[in-house]
Amino acid sequence: MAKIRVEGNKMIFERRDELTVFEPYGPDCIRCRSTKNSRLSEESWTLLPAKEASDIQLEGDEKKMTLRNGMMSVTVDVGTPWYGGIITFYRKDAAILRTKYEGDYTCRNIHTEGDHYQVKVIFESNPGEHLYGLGQEQEDFFDRQGASCNLQHYNTKSAVPVIYSSLGYGFFWNNPAPGRCETTKNHIMWVADSAYQADYLVYGGETPADVMKIYCDLTGYAPHFPEWAAGFWQSRLRYESQEDVLQVAREYKRRGVPIDAIVIDYFHWTEQGEWKFDPKYWPDPEGMCRELKEMGIQPVVSIWPTINPASENYSEMNDRNMLVRTENGQYGTFDFYGQQTFIDVTNPATREFVWDKVKQNYFDKGIHNFWLDEAEPEVHPQQYSNLKLYAGNGAQTAMLYPYYYSKLFYDGLKAAGEEDIILLTRAAYPGTQRFGSLVWNGDIGSTFESLRMSVKSGLSMAMSGIPWWNSDIGGFHSGDTRSEYFRELIVRWAQFGVFSPVMRFHGARIRTPEQVDRFPGIKERTGGENEVWSFGEENYEILSNLIRLRERLKPYICHYMELASGEGKPIMRPMFFDYYQDPVCYELDDQYMFGGEILFAPITEQGCTVRKVYLPEGSWQDVNTKEIHQGGCWITCQAPIDRFIAFVKAGSEVIHIFETVAR
């Protein structure tokens, strides 16, 4: 007979084929684990140990019981043998989540193998609720209500299984198995395709900032943000030699355009899986790094986790099981200049081995900042059950890859004495933020549509607990630097870049007819030029002034990055984050706050020079006209190509930064 019992602070519900345990997990947070197996797993994945919670109460009997933890509570009602085991979560005694009966138990389990099952947890939907988060993908909406999301990573998509609700609670699905989340009108459903148990946490706060802080307590805070990283990053696909890099750096300095970082992209190496410069094109990396740093420019180098039998490291890593293996078939999981597999970053031995190579070939030569590409990893086809990792079968663990990829470099850099660590990374998972992961949204198109979606991606990542985020300014794929379309796009995207956590030019531009192959036979040749002077003289003046503005904003940016590190507040934040009592702010997905004092409204449509902006309560000063407007209303703003739309809270000293904005 089903019943509820108490063990310490835990509330336990058990019946045939179902064992469910509820427990306080830090203040105002409740953790639920449920399995078809006879005992729970104590695996926490990337979840940190709980902080102490003191305001805990248990009340009820074996038929109906409630666990209270601060403002959060959960009630289990045993009900009847055919319809029961209903779970209801409350925030301040208002119901926010109630499990929904869809013909089976509250935790539905379909057997896959051994003690692993397809796990489903289903809740009723709440009319009028807004839901945000779930990481990033190229989609043209911010509010996830009425949508579905596959929980898997691929190029342009990071699945971060956490949501924030307009009802004032957060939900973290603590399971790295690929699956899906449906936040539709008829239910909210979380699915792990192969898992030992369901594991999720529900938590609440008075404000969105309170809820975000609890999530960061659960998964970690971003570290100290390097001051140089708040400036301008230059990159393109790709610089073919160290002389190319130095010539570009010298030209920026000659022109007096601020530059803080320059990125060395892929195939600077001898072979995939060798992690070292090709001496034919990079004969003196130490000298290159020395000259760059003398100019005040940080070099950033791309690392890939791919490897194949041509690599000098393959045999040893293969024999020591340091590579992602397959349950069936040979090693190849990614065809890119031959069949590749990926290093198994979930294996501590792999992390130690690869860092030793990276330290010897990069760090000791002056490269202390890394770009972790292919971080999903990019496996084709995505047959997760065929992947065998140290952490377990891919069907149960595949989403952990970017977490351990970032951890490899963070731990290595820390051990080498580095303090300010930043890692440009192409995928994320809960906890990657604590390893200095700066996520970008992958190889997106060079279109206004991609720009518009990038704004929403950045806001989604902010509400997924990833405060360090950026996009390729101008988009990645193609981009004709001679076309009027792209020249307009690059300006509008650069304006967005000024008000992103990191401002970085990158992209595979179309080669121009006058470009010559300086290194015939090179494996991966460069694309078209992508420097600030590559888009016409009129654009050069506009873009240069935007970069100079970014330079003046660095102290402001670093201040708000410190708040992210200490309190979990992202610098790029949706309007409702600060104005959570204004219902209009929950509907806004194309304007946002950049820190607590600047409101930015990007232009994301071709040919657009006018748009409406919503000003919440308070007084707001237009950075262009210096006119002060009273909030609580919509206004229409003008934005010719050399002007962006931004407002500053009236009375804020930050307005002085904009006094020299070029018109």
pLDDT tens digits along 130-163: 999 999 999 999 999 999 999 999 999 999 999 9
% of the chain residues with pLDDT over 90: 94
Domain boundaries defined on the chain: 3-204, 227-567, 572-658
Q: From CA 143, how far away is CA 236, in angstroms rounded?
A: 32
Identify the band that residue 662 occupies on the pLDDT scale cut at 50, 70 and 90: very low
366 and 289 in contact (C-beta within 8 Å)?
yes
> Of 380, 428, 368, 440, which Cα lies nearest the Cα of 404?
428
Residue 467, sorted as left (phi over 0), alpha (psi -120 to 50) or beta, turns out to be: alpha
Identify the band that residue 367 occupies on the pLDDT scale cut at 50, 70 and 90: very high
Adjacent-strand bridge partners of 198? 34
14 and 59 in contact (C-beta within 8 Å)?
no
117, burial (CB in 10 Å: exposed 0-12, middle 13-18, buried 19+): buried
Q: Can you tell me whether residue 554 is helix, strand or coil?
A: helix
Identify the band that residue 450 occupies on the pLDDT scale cut at 50, 70 and 90: very high
Instruction: Report pLDDT digits (tens) over 272-281.
Output: 999 999 999 9
Adjacent-strand bridge partners of 560? none
Long-range Cβ pairs for the range 650-656 (8 Å, 24+): 650/618, 650/619, 650/620, 650/621, 651/619, 652/597, 652/621, 654/556, 654/597, 654/598, 655/621, 655/623, 655/626
Sequence letter at residue 171:
F
* Confidence at residue 110, expressed as pLDDT on a 0 to 100 scale: 67
Beta strands 64-69 and 56-60 are: antiparallel
Give how far Cα 602 sits from Cα of 350, 471, 557, 560, 591, Å: 43, 14, 18, 20, 7
588, burial (CB in 10 Å: exposed 0-12, middle 13-18, buried 19+): buried
* Confidence at residue 149, expressed as pLDDT on a 0 to 100 scale: 97
Largest CA distance in the chain: 81
Active site residue 373: yes
> Of 599, 364, 563, which Cα lies nearest the Cα of 468?
563
The encoded tokens of residue 70 equal 């601060």
DSSP annotation of 336 reads S
Statement: residue 502 has pLDDT above 50: yes
Q: From CA 87, how far away is CA 59, in angstroms rounded?
A: 15
Annotated active-site residue in 193, 260, 376, 622: 376
145 and 131 in contact (C-beta within 8 Å)?
yes
Higher pLDDT, 23 or 106: 23
Beta strands 10-15 and 179-183 are: unpaired
How far the first Cα of the chain sits from its last, in Å, is 76
Q: From CA 662, how far away is CA 544, in angstroms rounded?
A: 10
Q: What is the DSSP string of 416-454?
A: TT--S--EEES---TTGGGGTEEEE--S-BSSHHHHHHH
Annotated active-site residue in 373, 378, 531, 590: 373
Q: Average pLDDT, whole number, for the chain?
A: 96
Q: From CA 196, how far away is CA 118, in angstroms rounded?
A: 9
Mean pLDDT of 597-617: 98
Statement: residue 55 has pLDDT above 70: yes
* Confidence at residue 79, expressed as pLDDT on a 0 to 100 scale: 84
Statement: residue 260 has pLDDT above 80: yes
Mean pLDDT of 440-455: 98
* Confidence at residue 151, expressed as pLDDT on a 0 to 100 scale: 98
Instruction: Report pLDDT digits (tens) over 226-256.
Output: 999 999 999 999 999 999 999 999 999 999 9
Helix/strand/coil (H/E/C) assignment for every residue in 217-279: HHHCCCCCCCHHHHCEEECCCCCCCHHHHHHHHHHHHHHCCCCCEEEECCCCECCCCCCCECC
655 and 627 in contact (C-beta within 8 Å)?
no
572-658 maps to which CATH number?
Answer: 2.60.40.1180
Sequence letter at residue 526:
T
Instruction: Report pLDDT digits (tens) over 28-40.
Output: 999 999 999 999 9
Q: From CA 471, how far away is CA 459, in angstroms rounded?
A: 12
* Confidence at residue 321, expressed as pLDDT on a 0 to 100 scale: 97
Mean pLDDT of 391-409: 98
CA-based torsion, 481, 485, 487, 493: positive or negative = negative
Higher pLDDT, 110 or 195: 195
Active site residue 42: no
* Confidence at residue 80, expressed as pLDDT on a 0 to 100 scale: 73
Whether 3-204 and 227-567 share one fold: the answer is no
Instruction: Report pLDDT digits (tens) over 579-593.
Output: 999 999 999 999 999
Statement: residue 360 has pLDDT above 50: yes
Mean pLDDT of 89-95: 98
Statement: residue 509 has pLDDT above 50: yes
Beta strands 10-15 and 645-649 are: unpaired
The encoded tokens of residue 454 equal 């990038």
Adjacent-strand bridge partners of 217? none
Beta strands 503-504 and 232-234 are: parallel
169, containing H or E segment: strand 169-173
* Confidence at residue 105, expressed as pLDDT on a 0 to 100 scale: 59
Q: From CA 596, how far away is CA 194, in angstroms rounded?
A: 42
Annotated active-site residue in 14, 129, 274, 443: 443
Architecture category of domain 227-567 in CATH: Alpha-Beta Barrel (3.20)
Statement: residue 107 has pLDDT above 60: no
Q: From CA 508, how far away is CA 59, in angstroms rounded?
A: 61
Q: Can you tell me whether residue 43 is helix, strand or coil?
A: coil
Q: From CA 59, how far away is CA 132, in angstroms rounded?
A: 33
3-204 maps to which CATH number?
Answer: 2.60.40.1760
φ and ψ at 130, to 5 degrees?
Answer: -110, 140
